Amino acid sequence: MQNHSRSPTTASWLDRLRGKSRAGSVTVWVALSLIPTLMLLAVALDEGEGSLSKIELQRTADIAAIAGGLRAASSASGVPPSCASMTHALACAQTNAAADAAEVNVPAGAGTRSWTDSAETLSDNLIQAAIVPGVQKASDTAVKVSVSRPLPAILGFAVDGGSSFLVKATATAEVVPGGTSGTQPCMTALDGSGSGVTTNLDISISGNANLTMNGCSLRSDGRIALSGNVNLVAAGIYAGSTISSSGNANMTGTQYPDSGQISDPYASDTQLQNAFSKLTTQTTNSFSGGGSPSPGTYSTMNITSNTTLAPGLYVVTGNFSVGANSAVNGSGVTIIAGGSVSISGNANFNVTAPGTSAAGGAIPGVLLADNGTSGGSISGNASSAVSGVIYFPNSTLTFSGNGATNGQSNCLEVIAGSVSISGNTNMGGNCSQLGALSFGSVQTTPLVELVQ
Instruction: For 335-360, write each residue's pLDDT tens digit.
Output: 999 999 998 878 888 999 999 999 99
Tell me the C-alpha distance between 330 and 350, whole Å: 7
Residue 195: pLDDT band (50, 70, 90) is very low
Per the confidence metrics, is the pTM higher than 0.85?
A: no
pLDDT at 193: 58
Q: Between these two residues, 199 and 60, which has the higher pLDDT value?
A: 60
On the question of pLDDT at 43 being above 80, the answer is no
pLDDT at 77: 76
Of all residues in the chain, what percent carry a pLDDT higher than 70? 81
pLDDT, mean of residues 49-76: 85
On the question of pLDDT at 31 being above 90, the answer is no
On the question of pLDDT at 161 being above 80, the answer is no
On the question of pLDDT at 76 being above 50, the answer is yes
Candidates 101, 99, 98, 93; CA nearest to 112 is 99
Least confident segment among 141-155, 173-187, 366-380? 141-155
pLDDT, mean of residues 414-419: 94
Tell me the C-alpha distance between 371 and 408, whole Å: 24
On the question of pLDDT at 16 being above 90, the answer is no
Tell me the C-alpha distance between 312 and 430, whole Å: 22
On the question of pLDDT at 157 being above 50, the answer is no
Buried b (16+ CB within 10 A) or exposed e, 418-441: bbbbbbbbbbbbbbbebbbbebbb
Least confident segment among 11-20, 254-263, 410-419? 11-20
* Length of the chain (residues): 452
Average pLDDT over the chain reads 84
What angle in degrees, to the nearest 10, is found between the helix axes of 89-102 and 8-73? 150
Tell me the C-alpha distance between 241 and 224, whole Å: 8
Task: State the DSSP string of 59-115.
Answer: HHHHHHHHHHHHHHHS------GGGTTSTTHHHHHHHHHHHHHHTTTS---SS--EE
Least confident segment among 83-87, 209-213, 318-322? 209-213
Residue 87: pLDDT band (50, 70, 90) is very high
pLDDT at 429: 74
pLDDT, mean of residues 257-283: 92
pLDDT at 75: 72
pLDDT at 158: 43
Least confident segment among 110-114, 184-188, 329-333? 110-114
Give residue limits of the domains in the chain.
14-176, 180-443
